[in-house]
Structure 1
Amino acid sequence: MLKSTAFATVLHDPDALLAEPLMAAAPGLAETFSGLAVSLTEATHPRIEELMRDRLGARVGRHPTGEAFIGQGRRHGVALALDSGTDRVIYADPDHMLRWLTAYPDELQSVLATQPEVGFLIVGRSARAFADVPRRLQETEAPINQAYELITGRQADLLSAVRRMDRAAARDIVANSSVDSFGNDVEWPLLAERLGHHVGYVEADGLTYRTIEQYGATADSYDAEPLQWIRRIEMAAVQATAMRPYLRSAD
């Protein structure tokens, strides 16, 4: 029997850009997950909170706005999901999950069912999916994935930020994670392993990338903007800093 799995997420959407995609995906979300939990930024449009709570039946909270609080918001989302009594939690950014659910529903179901013995499952992009992400992501994420492999001895694509956790692993992440930024992308799997949870890995074709502003676009258009490259380099630095405490020499 497939264990119940709640979907936890965070959302920053001041202009309610995901309102229509969320409503379109509502039947699939209800069919796939035992519950929804979302931590919204304080700047997110009230329409999104109303839609999540009243139309989708989600457990809803708020966290401060800003990239420095993404990890905090993700922990909050997972904590809200645990409050539902679910057996497991899958965390994903909402736009990633909506595209995955719409385009590859069977693959999503397969990922929810695979490796039932694993307490913390990293869900990464397949080689095909990774080849389709913008070049600024490919070139700045590859070193982070390489560092993770050198630390753990295992390959993984970390920065799609999709994680499936059983209750024990999810509780430990909520209680022990200390990275409030998006450095939690690398901290969570390293922390889960340090706390004794079985960490596994699976890849998916259906994890695609667009910004929320370009949610339905056929292609990303930001690789020509220097600021977007700078932001990705800065993000890689944050990820690297979050990995330092897990170096073997730091034990």
Structure 2
Amino acid sequence: MAGTAHFKFYASLNDFLPKQEQESWINYSFPENPVVKDAIEAMGVPHPEVNAIVVNGNKVDFTYKLQPSDEVEVYPKGFPATINLTPTYSLPYRFVLDVHLGKLVRFLRLLGFDTFFDPELSEKELVRIAVEENRILLSRGVNILKYKTIVHGYWLRSQQPEEQLLEVIRYYSLAGEFSVFTRCMVCNGTIVQVPKEQVQELLPPKTKLYFHEFYQCQHCRRVYWKGSHYERMQQFINNLA
């Protein structure tokens, strides 16, 4: 049945809309009765960022079929007085990032989060990894978040890595989940403390002389120590608070 429904998007979901449609009712015409999820995504909003849908005052899920003259209100994560359409994510947090987020990858690993990144993979391969390994998909592209199988995902608004990190921390309330300096920033492997003798041959001459506490990635064997770079990273982490 052809008809027109009326949509209103709240708070952060307006980031996906043209300026003239933000914070206002939008007419959406349809030739048949689409499910509300398809209509929402056709208007530009990916389903992983939708927390609740209210049609004519009643809460519905993504499978609701639109009817002529429906009034549809769409709410984001964290909006008051809503139901949660996205299942609760099972901890610990694990991420997969698209090709545009290489610097954010290093920041998340610095904080101890298991973060998969391979710039050579296609969108479909990233989606498969997100689903099979139960990872949150972070992206600078909206369309990849519209894949039906994606459950947990977020579109980064900023193009600046430091701001992107703050976005993710706030969106997923990660401040209490940090486990800093436990994951390799290069390969994502776990880091453990090792005796100096075990890594002696891998160290620069001055490092051998002045440092005595060492850590090594269990995957790529990269060695870490608390030099000047450590102090800079520690200050960066402190500033996040």
Could you say whether these structures have the same fold, taking a TM-score greater than 0.5 normalized by the shorter chain as the test? no
Query: Which structure has the highest helix share of the two?
Result: 1
- Could you say which structure has the greater relative contact order, defined with CA pairs below 8 angstroms and 6 or more residues apart? 1
Calculate the TM-score normalised by the size of structure 2.
Answer: 0.30
Calculate the TM-score normalised by the size of structure 1.
Answer: 0.29
Query: Which structure has the highest strand share of the two?
Result: 2
Larger Cα-atom Rg: 2
